[in-house]
Structures are given as structure tokens and as C-alpha cells.
Amino acid sequence: MEAFGLLLHGFAVLLTWKTLALMMVGLVLGIFVGVLPGLGGPNGVAILLPLTFTMDPTSAIVMLSCIYWGALFGGAITSILFNIPGEAWSVATTFDGYPMAQQGRAAEALTAAFTSSFIGSLVAVLLITFLAPMISSFALKFGPPEFFAVYLLTFCSFVGLGREAKHKTVISMSLGLLLAGVGMDTVSGQLRMTFGSSELLRGINFLVAVIGLFGISEILLTMEERLALRGHAASISLRVVLSVWKDLPKYWVTLLRSSVIGCWLGITPGGAIAASFMGYNLAKRFAKDPESFGKGRIEGVFAPETAAHASGTAALLPMLALGIPGSGTAAILLGGLMVWGLNPGPLLFVEHKDFVWGLIASMYLGNVVGLVLVLTTVPIFASILRVPFAAVAPMIVVSCAIGAYAIQNAMFDIWLMLGFGVVGYVFKKIGIPLAPFTLALVLGNRAEDAFRLSMIGSGGDLKVFWSNGLVGSITTLAIVLLFWPIIEGLFARVGWTQGTRATSR
């Protein structure tokens, strides 16, 4: 029950007018970012990060995480009203959400989406509240070999479990790790890969890369498509909200199933996208009349939204407890921690109690405030889409440039951002995933330090990664995951059902 007391303390930290105001600002900005085409959770957080540079870490993280919740809520608005998923994880929401809007049940669908987002995040936050302190106190015993093994596990599971072509994931990840090493070497102080350039001396900043990769490239991609849209305007009345809430208990199985899927996929790097589809498909499979899905069934909104938000929130668990982000947005928040001078990792729970519990408390509060805000202001946000993209696009470009410049006050970073914009555009179009790149860029130096410290400790003996039960099992698991597709194939040949189902899919 120690967690409970600390959580109450966290609420006390938060309940000042200043933090509540920041929370509202963050939520509004987040919903805005989620509704606009060409911007999403990670982009929004990355672009707005510079706003928080001069705040104290607790206010900063409260505002940033509220931007994130807002963006998660905002994605559902465009999916349901316009059949345009604002985010990849909202795609499954369009299957039943848009038909509902066509039948004049937009308000019902929106209420369902927001409510289930809320429930999904709440389950995940509860998980974080009780599990994160346990994991981090366990991880306090970790030495460099254990940490390297955990990093290895993260990287390997991306390669082994990702749905993209394996060599493309490896390209993206090794490129990210390489670029993370540019600049001064933290162990020896020697310069690496700078080619005599004084600009490269500082290294390639992770946030600059993210702003380019996600912000600029997303604008280029959005312009390629037809931007015409046609959708329904909706306002939500209290009567609709109450009637949807009254029916909630009927769908508890769907909600619970999706929450569990979401939490699981959020902690492992499966991600919110996979979670939303899996939530939807399972709800459909277990339904008595699966053919009614896709024609405007409310469960078809509940299932993917709950899963996506549970996963988006659960992705913060490994970030807080171990310093390993479970999603792109979590990676950016991690980058933010470093800017504010906090060292992510298990020590965070010991050294910065106020910060950690303030953040967790803000997850509870932010979700409640967000739910109310979004239910009352949908019509305003839906009409943002009337603003022509020709006005929105240059504003996003300017915001990206401000964000990139502000991180290190360097003009070179604006050019770097532009370069990464082009790289992101090309990579997305030829199917090289960007998530492993982002993760590798933010974790690269820490992974390398952990590796070199373990090597120094063991005198260069790789057996150190199997030197005790804990590190040995993590390393072995990492290698199993790396070769998972091959292992799964072998199982299939032997005739194991799970393997055969996977190959027949």
C-alpha cells in the first residue's frame, strides 16, 4: 500500500492552479494535434517539447503527457466523423465508427470511443501504479550486463516480432545506433564519425531527428494524397452519453479483453496499432453474429479503442521503470527527461519521487479531464478540419523548425531536421520502419556504455552475459526472439498448431 500513499502525495503535487491550467492547455493542444491531418501523437509531443524547456520537470511532463492523451482522444474524432484515421491505431475504429456516423449515430460512436479510451488508459495506469515500482526496485540490482541484456532484448524483439521485412528493420536499427554514436565518445572522450565537422561534434540530437522524421516527412506524405474530405458534424448531448454509459456493463468482456491485449502489447514493443487490430478481430471472433461487424456495431468501436489506449499508456511502464520506451511517443518523453536533466532508469523512482508520482497522478487526472473536455468540445474540434491544409502545412513547418532550433540553439539542427524529413519520407514509402530507428537513436549510447562497461568488467569475455541466471535468461530470450520467425517455422514443420496457424495466415 506504499504505492497508494505516494500516489496521494502525487495528487497533492498536482493540485495547484498552475498545473491544472497546464493540463488543460496540454489536452487542448493534444486534441488539436490529433485531429489535424499530418500530425499525430509523436509529432505533436516532439514539436511542442521546446515549450517545456524552461518549466520545472513535473509541470513539463504533466503538460507533455496531457498532449499525448489529447492526441489519443483526437484521433478518434476524425476516424468516426470523416472515415480518416488521424493515427494508424485509429484505423480499426473506422470499421464500425464511420458506419455508425452514417446512420446518424455519430454522437453514440464518439461517446463509445472516448469512454473506452478512458477505460483502456485507466486499466493501464492502474497497472503502472502497482507494477512500475516493483519492477524498478527489482531493476535496482541490475549491473551493466543486465542492462545490456535488456537493451538487447528490446532490439531483438523489434527485429523478430516486427511485421516488416527483417532486413529493413535491421537497416533502420543499425543506422539509428550508428548515428547515436556520432560525436564525442562518452567513455574515452575521443571523437567519432565527425569527419572534422564542428557541427557534428555535438552529435545528432534525437529530438531533431524525430521532428524531421515524423513532422516534416508526414507533411510531404499528406500532400501526396487527395485532401478533400466529407464528413458528419456532431454534437454530443448528455442524454446520449448517459444511454451509452448505461449499456457499458453489457460489454465488460470486450472491454476487459481489449484492455489486457493492450497492456500486454504496450509493454512488449507490439504497439498500439497491433493492439487495436487484435482487439477488434478478437471481439469479432467471439461475437455470436460476426457478420454484423463493420456495419456500425458499438462493440466494434469499444474493442479497438480500449486496446489502443491501454497499449499507448502501458508503453510508459517500461520507460518509467527501466528507462526503455515501449513506443515512439514514450521514446520522445524519454528524450524530454534527459533534456530536463533527469536520468531515466530505475533510480528515477528513488531519486525523483515527486516527479514520478506526479506523472502517474497526472495520468489519472489527465484522463478524467480529457474525457470531459472531449465530450463537450467535439463540434469545435471537428470544424478545425475546415481550415485548408495550405494554411496548416506552413504553420507545422514553422513549429517544427522552432522545435528543432530550440533544443540546442543551432541553425545546423534546422538543416538536419530537413534532411531527416526527406529520409523519413523515402523510408516510409519503401517500407523501412521508423520506430526501430527512433528507439535505437535514443538508446544507442546507453546500450553501448552498458556493453563496454560489462566488457571492461569481465575482461572482454562475452560469457558475462550468461554469468548468472537472470542475465542469462534475458540474453537467451533475446536471441530466441531474434530468430523467432525461424523457430516458429520449425514448430510448423513439426506440426504444432500455433505455428501452422501463423503460416496459414
User: Among residue numbers 167 through 226, which ones bind another protein (CB under 8 A)?
Assistant: 167-168, 170-171, 174-175, 177-178, 181, 185, 187-188, 190-193, 195, 216, 219-220, 223-226
Query: Quick one: 168 exposed, middle or buried, by C-beta within 10 A (0-12, 13-18, 19+)?
Result: middle
Q: In one letter, which amino acid is 46?
A: A
Binding of another protein by 228 (CB under 8 A): yes
Query: Nine-digit cell at 366?
Result: 489527465
Kindly determine how many residues on this chain lie close enough to bind another protein according to the rule CB under 8 A.
Answer: 87
Q: How far is the CB of 454 from another protein (least distance, A)?
A: 9
Residue 231, phi then psi, degrees to nearest 5:
-160, -175
Query: Quick one: 252 exposed, middle or buried, by C-beta within 10 A (0-12, 13-18, 19+)?
Result: exposed
- Binders in 317-356 for another protein, by CB under 8 A: none
- Out of 63, 106, 319, 435, name the contact with another protein by CB under 8 A: 106
Q: How far is the CB of 376 from another protein (least distance, A)?
A: 14
- Out of 44, 65, 91, 108, name the contact with another protein by CB under 8 A: 108
* Of residues 187 and 368, the one with the C-beta less far from another protein: 187
Q: How far is the CB of 286 from another protein (least distance, A)?
A: 29
Distances (CA, A) of 357 to 17, 58, 221, 457: 18, 9, 39, 35
Segment interacting with another protein, rule: CB under 8 A, options 90-98, 320-328, 449-457, 489-497: 449-457
Q: How many residues does the structure list for the chain?
A: 505
Query: Nine-digit cell at 341?
Result: 536533466
Give CA torsion, residues 165, 169, 175, 179, to 10 deg.
Answer: 150
Binding of another protein by 406 (CB under 8 A): yes
Segment interacting with another protein, rule: CB under 8 A, options 8-16, 105-113, 282-290, 469-477: 105-113
The DSSP code for 191 is: E
- Out of 1, 238, 391, 494, name the contact with another protein by CB under 8 A: 391
- Out of 5, 104, 290, 489, name the contact with another protein by CB under 8 A: 104
Query: Nine-digit cell at 488?
Result: 516458429
The DSSP code for 483 is: T
Do residues 479 and 156 touch, judged by C-beta distance below 8 A? Answer: yes
* Of residues 15 and 398, the one with the C-beta less far from another protein: 398
Binding of another protein by 452 (CB under 8 A): yes
* Of residues 127 and 173, the one with the C-beta less far from another protein: 173
Query: Nine-digit cell at 376?
Result: 463537450
Binding of another protein by 430 (CB under 8 A): yes
- Binders in 11-50 for another protein, by CB under 8 A: 50
Query: Nine-digit cell at 192?
Result: 567519432
Q: How far apart are CA 73 and CA 62, in angstroms?
A: 16
Cβ neighbours for 46, distance < 8 A, ≥ 6 positions apart: 207, 210, 211, 214, 215, 332, 403
Which H or E run contains 201?
Answer: none
* Of residues 389 and 491, the one with the C-beta less far from another protein: 389
- Binders in 241-280 for another protein, by CB under 8 A: none
Do residues 448 and 181 touch, judged by C-beta distance below 8 A? Answer: yes
Task: Give the three-class secondary structure for 192.
Answer: strand
CA end-to-end span of the chain, whole Å?
A: 45
Q: In one letter, which amino acid is 193?
A: M
Segment interacting with another protein, rule: CB under 8 A, options 60-68, 122-130, 162-170, 473-481: 162-170
- Out of 385, 439, 464, 478, name the contact with another protein by CB under 8 A: 385
Segment interacting with another protein, rule: CB under 8 A, options 197-205, 248-256, 366-374, 448-456: 448-456
Binding of another protein by 164 (CB under 8 A): no
Query: Nine-digit cell at 291?
Result: 457478420
* Of residues 282 and 406, the one with the C-beta less far from another protein: 406
- Out of 236, 244, 307, 339, name the contact with another protein by CB under 8 A: 236
Segment interacting with another protein, rule: CB under 8 A, options 288-296, 410-418, 470-478, 490-498: 410-418
- Binders in 49-68 for another protein, by CB under 8 A: 50-51, 53-54
